[in-house]
Amino acid sequence: MSVQEKNITFAYWVPNVSGGLVVSNIEQRTDWSYDYNVRLAQAAEKSGFDYALTQIRFTAGYNAENQHESVSFSHGILAKTEKLKVIAAILPGPWKPALAAKQLATIDHLTNGRIAINVVSGWFRGEFDAIGEEWPEHDQRYARSEEFIRSLKGVWTQDNFSFDGKYYQFKDYTLSPKPVQKPHIEIFQGGSSRAARDMASRVSDWYFTNGNTPAELKKQIDDIREKAKANNHQVKIGVNAFIIARDTEEEAQAVLQAIIDNANTEAVNAFGDATREAGASTKEGEGNWAKSTFEDLVQYNDGFKTNLIGTPQQIAERIVELKSVGVDLVLSGFLHFIEEVEYFGEKVLPLVRELEAQQQQVVQAKSA
């Protein structure tokens, strides 16, 4: 099925961290508690979202005071929902593949095949130092993540699995039971540096990248898809966007301006400094945050850059444009999560589906 034929998928960021998705002192009707997140997940699955993504951070980041652990929090959300898939962030280093494979296979059984993972390779050195974890240099972190993913896939799909890597080893190991999902639990990855893209083109099911313009995203996507093709591998693409949908464009722009005007300058600058250990530290100098301005960093995955800010019609048109450059999934963040997820489901999503249907008719007419 071509990109144009398949409907675009929607995911949302689970606010399992206090302070929401923007590093700003603006009022946010969003809460990191379990109770709020259960209500949000139930609203999201009713509103047409297929996935939710939890975040992992061992030390508070972006000036946030509290953050729940990703795998157990994901399981908590899955227990209270019916259709939603929850993607738990996992950090190789603190997580070892043997434990991750076993733990996730069990959650897959408990939730009828609705857990997924996002393998994050790490960019925050202070976090690794604080918990006594080794800090391999940038590309080695991706080499380790690739071994991590190959190990999980091996353990989840084979009996008597053996692997002799630099970071991980398995000898004649059989996991039982295997996960419910076949061929295995879905594997997402975060990151957009050269090393991250190359890993995606070899092993990941999904590649998640920071917010960006359609033209910049197209460059990344073409690069990954070309390499993936050469490796006989298929990878789907998810892009981050901080969505501000309001009845008028002026209202939406005013909200964006208020978020930026109320930015926590010290926390944004500290975050900007920490991101220098991401793709910017490589010889290519490419990757997430390598070109981010102060304003971009106020949403910590460059979500304003995707520009899903405006009226429902404007946003729907831009989503369809993202699809036309090869995006399969929009990962969304919101200021006031529950109410905005509901507004999105009611006002924006039906327009996206209408535009997709129109495009579909054009494609069919051309091929008739």
Ligand X SMILES: Cc1cc2nc3c(=O)[nH]c(=O)nc-3n(C[C@H](O)[C@H](O)[C@H](O)COP(=O)(O)O)c2cc1C
Minimum gap (Å) between residue 220 Cβ and ligand X:
11
CB of 240 to ligand X, least distance (A): 5
CB of 142 to ligand X, least distance (A): 7
- Smallest distance, ligand X to C-beta of residue 129, A: 14
Whose Cβ is closer to ligand X: residue 56's or residue 149's?
56
Residue pair 204/135 in contact (Cβ under 8 Å)? The answer is no
In the complex, minimum distance from the CB of residue 131 to ligand X, in angstroms, rounded to a whole number: 12
CB within 8 A of 38, min separation 6: which ones? 76, 77, 80, 81
CB of 252 to ligand X, least distance (A): 22
| Closest CB to ligand X among residues 168, 300 | 300
Distances (CA, A) of 163 to 118, 153, 169: 22, 11, 5
Q: Determine whether 113 is exposed, middle or buried from the number of CB atoms within 10 Å of its CB (0-12, 13-18, 19+).
A: middle
Spatial distance between the Cα atoms of 200 and 226, rounded to a whole number of angstroms:
11
d(CA 143, CA 57): 21
Where along the sequence are the contacts to ligand X (CB under 6 A)? 55-57, 89, 118, 120-124, 138, 190-193, 196, 208-210, 240, 278-279, 287-288, 301, 331
Q: How far is the CB of 163 from ligand X (least distance, A)?
A: 23
Buried residues in 231-258 as b, exposed as e (16+ CB within 10 A): eebebbbbbbbbbbbbeeeeebeebbee
Among 196, 171, 175, smallest CA distance to 184 is for 175
Which residue's Cβ has the minimum distance to ligand X?
Answer: 287
Minimum distance, C-beta of residue 58 to ligand X, in the bound complex (Å):
9
| Distance between CA atoms of residues 23 and 262, nearest Å | 9
Name the burial class of residue 336, with classes exposed (0-12), middle (13-18) and buried (19+) by CB atoms within 10 angstroms of its CB. middle
Q: Which is nearer to ligand X, 192 or 201 (CB)?
A: 192
As a whole number of angstroms, the distance between CA 330 and CA 239 comes to 5
Q: What is the amino acid identity at position 183?
A: P
Nearer to ligand X, 128 or 156 (CB): 128
Q: Of 117 and 175, which CB lies nearer to ligand X in the complex structure? A: 117
Helical segments of the chain, H only:
34-46, 70-79, 97-110, 125-130, 138-157, 194-200, 214-230, 249-261, 265-274, 294-297, 312-324, 337-343, 349-367
In the bound state with ligand X, the residue whose beta carbon lies nearer, of 246 and 323, is: 323
Nearer to ligand X, 268 or 355 (CB): 268
